[in-house]
Amino acid sequence: MSTSEMPQTSDDSVFDDIRPCRDDEVGSELQKVIQDRTVINGILKFQSRSSVLASLVYKLPAFMQNFIVGRFLSRQVREIHTVADFQLRVANFMRSMSKTTSDGVTYKGFDRLDPKLGYLFISNHRDISLDPAYIDMALYAHEMPTVRIAIGDNLLRMPVATSLMRLNKSFIVKRSVTSPREKLKELTKLSEYIGLSIKENNSIWIAEREGRAKDGDDRAEEAVLKMIGLAGRLQKKSFAEYMAGLRIVPVSITYEFDPNDRAKAEELSEREKHNGEYHKEQMEDIDTIARGIRGYKGRVSVVAGEPLDGGFTNAAELAAIIDSFVWNNYQMYPSTLISAGHGGSCTEEERKKFNDRIGSYPEELRERIRAMYARPWFNLHPEEMQGREPEPQKDPGKKD
């Protein structure tokens, strides 16, 4: 492909199958959401626990449920006309959620960024939806535009999920493509979309790896960084030159308590028993997202670094720089210190809180969960890891 044939803007039609929702599409996407049977069922099921009226509606025939809940939802979304309107509702929900499910969120480093520029935020990956959501909240707090969010197409198995993700400025990473030729084509297109977005000062968030770090071992994958750099090859630029121009901002995210710690441990245990195989239930990703949102997180920390403008020549060196930032800015809350055997500075109340949580889980999962919480400490202090290294896991949890 010659330079003249390359797309010149992220609004180019070549990106229509992966890009987020535009303002002129908000109305139609919202209609898909409020008419979706899964959404209606979910609202009725949740509200029927605390509302007599909702419990009565729950017993009505489906067509009446659709009418009643549809009218209710239509009133809720009638003032939403743009993506910004939708994200304002998301931001209000996030503030409310954080007040009830966390002990406070701290943001650092974002005040050093220029609100007029677009950045490529690359963070460690612990939660499917909350990682980019908390980065968005940090940007809101500093009056900066929110990010376009990279999500795998494995999360879009339900039409309503696709609509909600697109409304929230998500763009699609086509992980399900298997043909090597098609995969390279799609990854190159994705790289071009990321590069053009940042050139237009639209910030991007992408996880440092494909799939969450279920074992707590935060490490940037070279493959992700090489994918981002594909567009640079088309422009005849070196990896270092092209990537430095993307204004990469490493971000370290810490959850004192992971709402999905047990689920992650159960998956790793199943993989160990079945030679790396794990068969995911149809609604498992949705359940994981819901558990992450509703579950208790303790304290949350989100730390952004300075844009990386050099110091690397290839993907391995860039990954090492990102790893170093994530590890050194990961907050060593009591859950990590106690698990790593360094809880001497923790109070009795903190010890009891953590031990009660671990004690509530099946005995066969407890050491694995402790190791998950401890791993960030040992990444910073590898000399202490001797004799504690867990058995290597085959395919330790990709695609979510």
259-280 pLDDT per residue, tens: 999 999 999 999 999 888 888 8
Q: Is residue 235 part of a domain?
A: yes
What is the predicted pLDDT for the residue at 400?
A: 67
The predicted pLDDT at position 51 comes to 56
Q: Are residues 262 and 201 in the same domain?
A: yes
Same domain assignment for residues 343 and 306: yes
Q: What is the DSSP string of 230-267?
A: HHHHHTT--HHHHHHTT-EEEEEEEESS-TTHHHHHHH
Same domain for 305 and 158: yes
The answer, yes or no, to whether residue 202 has pLDDT greater than 90, is yes
219 and 99 both lie in a single domain: yes
Residue scoring higher pLDDT (69 or 23): 23
Residue 287 lies in a domain: yes
- The torsion angles phi and psi of 315, rounded to 5 degrees, stand at -65, -35
| Position 357, amino acid | R
pLDDT for the residue 159 = 83
Number of domain units in the chain: 2
Give the pLDDT confidence score for residue 397 in this predicted structure. 43
H-helix or E-strand spanning residue 287: helix 284-294
Measure the CA–CA gap between 40 and 45, rounded to whole angstroms: 9
Whether residue 43 has pLDDT greater than 90? no
- pLDDT for 393 beyond 50: no
Looking only at the bridges linking them, the beta strands covering 248-255 and 300-304 are antiparallel
CB 159 within 8 A of CB 79: no
Q: Is the pLDDT of residue 396 over 50?
A: no
- pTM of the predicted model over 0.85: yes
Q: What pLDDT does 257 receive?
A: 98
In a domain, 257, yes or no: yes
**pLDDT band for position 157 (cuts 50, 70, 90):** confident
Q: Is residue 94 located within the same domain as residue 70?
A: no
* Helix H or strand E encompassing 301: strand 300-304
- Window from 76-90, 102-116, 132-146, 210-224 with minimum mean pLDDT: 76-90
| Averaged pLDDT of the chain | 89
99 lies in some domain: yes
Indicate the pairing of strand 120-123 with strand 105-108.
Answer: unpaired
Burial pattern 301-313, b for ≥16 Cβ within 10 A else e, equals bbbbbebbeeebe
The pLDDT of residue 197 is above 50: yes
Residue 381's pLDDT band (cuts 50, 70, 90): very high
The first and second tokens of residue 259, run together, are 């709402």
CB atoms closer than 10 angstroms to residue 51: 13
| Same domain (yes/no): 56, 177 | no
Say if residue 301 is in the same domain as residue 287: yes
Q: What pLDDT digit, counting tens, does each position of 230-257 carry?
A: 999 999 999 999 999 999 999 999 999 9
* pLDDT at 329 exceeding the cut of 50: yes
Whether residues 109 and 68 share a domain: the answer is: no
Left (φ > 0), alpha (ψ -120 to 50) or beta: where does 397 sit? left
Mean pLDDT score, 152-162? 85
Do the domain assignments include residue 396? no
Report the percent of the chain where pLDDT is more than 90: 73
Cβ count near 381 (within 10 Å): 12
Q: 327 and 189 in one domain?
A: yes
Q: Are 213 and 150 members of one domain?
A: yes
Asked if 187 and 293 sit in the same domain, the reply is yes
pLDDT at 160: 82
Task: Tokens for 40, please give them.
Answer: 């209606």
Q: Which residue range forms the structural domain that includes residue 152?
A: 82-384
Average pLDDT over residues 287-299: 93
154 is a domain residue? yes
Of 75 and 396, more confident: 75
Tokens of 52: 């007599």
- Domain holding 323: CATH number? 3.40.1130
Determine, yes or no, domain membership for 380: yes
Task: Tell whether 18 is covered by a domain.
Answer: no
Q: What are 82-93's pLDDT values in tens digits? A: 999 999 989 998
The sign one gets for the Cα dihedral 219, 316, 151, 284 is negative
Beta-bridge mates of residue 152: 173
The verdict on 147 and 115 lying in the same domain is yes
Place of tokens 């710690």: 261
What's the CA gap between 83 and 88, in Å, rounded? 9
